[in-house]
Amino acid sequence: MSRVAVVTGGMGGLGEAICIKLSNMGYRVVATYSPGNTKHAQWLSDMQKQGHNFQAVAVDVSDYSSCQQAVAQITTQVGAVDVLVNNAGITRDTTFRKMDLEAWNTVINTNLDSVFNMTKQVIEGMAERNWGRVINVSSVNGQKGAFGQTNYSAAKAGMHGFTKAAALEYARKGVTVNTISPGYIGTQMVMAIPKEVLDSKIIPQIPIGRLGKPEEVAGLVAYLCSEEAAFVTGANIAINGGQHMQ
């Protein structure tokens, strides 16, 4: 039977590209969406017309109990989770001077606490089966920082600290834990930035001279999910067109 992959924040943008790529690899894919999102049925229908029979589960990734319930539902309806892609994330950008506690907590809870909340539900089962993949989707701004994103940059940097420690603990159990750090990718969120800002401020910072494609990031995730990536763990792989190099 094919393996089960869960992609948080899987509807639209980068998450959708990851879901499609993993489906094409033969995974049974479950995309999570935020409670209250009324467009999930239409998304599932659209994806089915493209040949992708995805499942969808509502979950508040910032809430531990919600994650418990969602993974229990997935396990019952689809099967034990073999691959977890922690992709869900939000921004609440403002300078630190203007940032309030709500903007800080909301981003930390959704972008960082979610990694614990979701991984906690699946990683022991992976270890028992001696195979598993956890991929945490961070950001170039977690590596280099970004003006107006102390909350987001802190959360995304924290993801990789989690990755390294968990990778050490589960390495001998056949479970790999890795981080990817995309740069500016041509998703709906990025394309909402005014064109003059993209052309004058963002793209000139990218040596390749363009935005990344969601499919390129999905290809990296697919590699980390594969058998060929079994020796890669605790890594933070940049995919940013040369914008930031370490």
pLDDT at position 188, please? Answer: 82
Measured CA to CA, the distance from residue 47 to residue 29 in angstroms comes to 12
**Contact status, residue 205 vs residue 231, Cβ threshold 8 Å:** no
pLDDT over threshold 80, residue 189: no
CA nearest neighbour of 26 among 86, 82, 87: 82
The DSSP line for the chain is ---EEEETT-SSHHHHHHHHHHHHTT-EEEEEE-TT-TTHHHHHHHHHHTT---EEEE--TT-HHHHHHHHHHHHHHT----EEEE---------TTT--HHHHHHHHIIIIIHHHHHHHHHHHHHHHHT-EEEEEE--HHHHH--TT-HHHHHHHHHHHHHHHHHHHHHGGGTEEEEEEEE-SB-SHHHHTS-HHHIIIIIGGG-TT-S-B-HHHHHHHHHHHHSGGGTT--S-EEEESTTSS--
Count of domains forming the chain: 1
Lowest average pLDDT, out of 73-77, 131-135, 139-143, 208-212, goes to: 139-143
Taken in order 238, 240, 242, 246, the sign of the CA dihedral is: negative
Packing angle of the helix pair 150-170, 101-108 (nearest 10 deg) = 30
Question: Is 194 among the domain residues?
Answer: no
Over pLDDT 70: what percentage of the chain? 100
Catalytic residue among 27, 33, 152, 184: 152
* Residue 193 pLDDT class (50, 70, 90 cuts): confident
Residue 208 included in any domain: no
Judge whether 192 lies within some domain: no
> Tokens 């890594």 appear where?
235
In a domain, 112, yes or no: yes
Residue 80 falls within a domain, yes or no? yes
| pLDDT attached to residue 190 | 84
Q: What CATH number does the domain containing 54 carry?
A: 3.40.50.720
Residue 27 Cα to chain centre, angstroms: 17
Is 114 inside a domain boundary?
A: yes
223 catalytic? Reply is no
Q: Does 231 reside within a domain? A: yes
Q: Is 67 domain-assigned?
A: yes
Give the model confidence (pLDDT) of 56-101 as tens digits. 999 999 999 999 999 999 999 999 999 999 999 999 999 999 999 9
pTM for this model (two decimals): 0.96
Which residue range is the domain that position 161 belongs to? 4-186+214-239
